[in-house]
Structure 1
Amino acid sequence: MDVNGVALAYDDEGQGPPLLLLHAGIADRTMWDDVVPMLKDRFRVIRFDLRGYGETPLPDGPFVYASDAAELLAGLGIERAHLVGVSMGGHVALDLAIARPEMVDRLVLVGAGIDGWEHDATLAASWQEEEEAFERGDLDEAAWINVRTWLDGPARGEADVPKALRRRVFEMQRAAFDQENPAATGGWLTPSRRERLGDVTAPTLVLVGALDQRDFRRIARFLAGEIPGALFEELPAVAHLPPLERPEAFARTVIGFLGER
């Protein structure tokens, strides 16, 4: 579908209340492949590739992540939906919930980031290592750094995570690197999401993996404390990408929350 001047790749499956899934910044919409079959009997599940990920291109010029999400829903005739976002996708979902509250029914934030956060030295060093690998043209190593940082997490080694899952995340991130475009600049509907957390009106569940980076466990508790009425849950035995590591447990948690009335 053409959305804000870009051909947005998306999937639309199932019946029931609309549910929009927003992928992490080291993945694409296929990260939901194991979760969607457990959701589509209860919900109309929409997922799409953000610009520069999967099958969605990253053309020159400014754009707004949450605006693409809003326009996709509008193009599908959906006025209001549940939002579930992981990592960067969670930040996009939060932006939409603040700027367009009438469009958001319930909100699930999973290992979401937030603007204005001062990250610890360990995570900053990982980002620096990735940047150096990228600048010297070693895109494979840059992608593997992301796998180690986000999928393995700080508490596990490579041998502790299934090889097939590590390869799957590597391939999604590696493909995104091939689409990098310095002439494209992503932005936000809300200048500072952190300063507007008290304006979130959607019932919200904040999830984080028990094995995620310490900073993101701290951010999750911060979000849960600042968003009015938000619930908090730490998911055991997973790091930054719970839908990939434990899709069945993740789906049960999401269904349980979205099914509350």
Structure 2
Amino acid sequence: MPSSLAPDQDLYFWVEGARLRYRDAGSGSAVLLIHGWTLDLDMWEPQVEALAGSFRVIRLDRRGFGLSSGRPALTDDVADVQALCRHLALKHVSVVGMSQGARVAARLAAIEPDLLSCIVLDGPPASIAGTPGSGDGDVPLAEFRSLVRAGGMDAFRSAWSRHALVQLRTSDPRARELLSRMIARYRGEDLQQPPVNPIESCDSPALGSIRKPVLVIGGALDIESRRNAAEAIARKLPFAKQRVVPDAGHLANLDNPQAYNALLLGFLEQHAGAPPSEAP
């Protein structure tokens, strides 16, 4: 069902007791954008105009993030994406997942491959590769939970804003304002109380079972663990390409949107909308 919405506006749907925000712009083959931790669907603002000229661009606030209600739970994220696709009557979709959102995309590809035309994993964590002992140690969640208990969300936001993963390489004030707004909006429900499904304990997807076209993308200036993870994941996926965004850190889509969008468009124009069969 093509989108009939010209403006990119807030929309909501209910699933399993949560009211989830999404946005829907453009027309054509559907592309679903899934944000990372502490962020929300607004992170994709630099991509919407570029993609919506050729595709139907759908963005979702994962439960507990942005303006979506509910408690954050990584395993529920996959069911929420499936529910959104049913809500919009999407028979197949291309999925772009950033950082923690890449975990959602990879799990979805392993669980319901027939839904997906292709997948983009942006700045994925090492845990996706399933390497023994590879957690997401570059995000010290236990320390952040202790910090929230001791000093509240302001203390966390101050510490997180200094973390290497959220350091912007661009001087564009619009990108900086956007990032600040998203972090300020993050409620930290997964830090303030025991998480429903701790991200540290979630199983990694069986990468070898993902037989779709995959683009593994990341910033050239991302932290070493994420660069290494991208290389490892690309090696394990049978139909993967790896590309690097120059002059960009972990938030590559904000740091260098022109180069990022060009890589996305090139991949999506080749694979989005294709029948969800195995890659050749």
Question: TM-score range with shorter-chain normalisation?
Answer: 0.7 to 0.9
Partner of 2:266: 256
SS in 2 for 1:9: strand
Corresponding residue to 1:151 among 166, 169, 182: 166
Cα distance in structure 1, aligned partners of 2:137 and 2:212? 34
Please tell me whether residue 223 in structure 1 is matched to residue 222 in structure 2: no
Corresponding residue to 1:213 among 204, 223, 227: 223
CA contact (8 A) 2:126 2:135 kept: no
Please tell me whether residue 50 in structure 1 is matched to residue 75 in structure 2: no
Partner of 2:10: none
CA deviations 1:92-130 (Å, max 9, x no partner) are 001101110000101000001243564699836x55653
Cα distance in structure 2, aligned partners of 1:28 and 1:73? 18
Unmatched runs of 5 consecutive residues or more in structure 1: none
CA deviations 1:156-200 (Å, max 9, x no partner) are 7xxx75555344323312322354463651479xx6325x10000
The AA in structure 2 aligned to 1:144 is: S
Cα distance in structure 2, aligned partners of 1:238 and 1:47? 22
Please tell me whether residue 107 in structure 1 is matched to residue 126 in structure 2: no
Please tell me whether residue 75 in structure 1 is matched to residue 87 in structure 2: yes
Cα distance in structure 2, aligned partners of 1:201 and 1:187? 27
Partner of 1:89: 101
Corresponding residue to 1:142 among 156, 177, 180: 156
**Cα separation, partners in 2 of 1:120 and 1:104, compared to 1, 3 Å:** closer
**Worse-matched range after superposition: 238-247 or 219-228:** 238-247
Question: Aligned-pair distance for 1:86?
Answer: 0.4
TM-score of the pair, normalised by structure 1? 0.85
Q: Percent identity, please.
A: 28
**Cα separation, partners in 2 of 1:260 and 1:63, compared to 1, 3 Å:** closer
CA deviations 1:196-233 (Å, max 9, x no partner) are 10000110010111111111111111110001121011
Cα distance in structure 1, aligned partners of 2:146 and 2:53? 45
CA contact (8 A) 1:61 1:183 kept: no
TM-score of the pair, normalised by structure 2? 0.80
Partner of 2:9: none
Cα distance in structure 2, aligned partners of 1:238 and 1:144? 22
**Cα separation, partners in 2 of 1:223 and 1:74, compared to 1, 3 Å:** same
Corresponding residue to 1:173 among 183, 189, 199: 183
Alignment of 1:21-40 (within 5 A): 21-40=33-52
Cα distance in structure 1, aligned partners of 2:188 and 2:31? 29
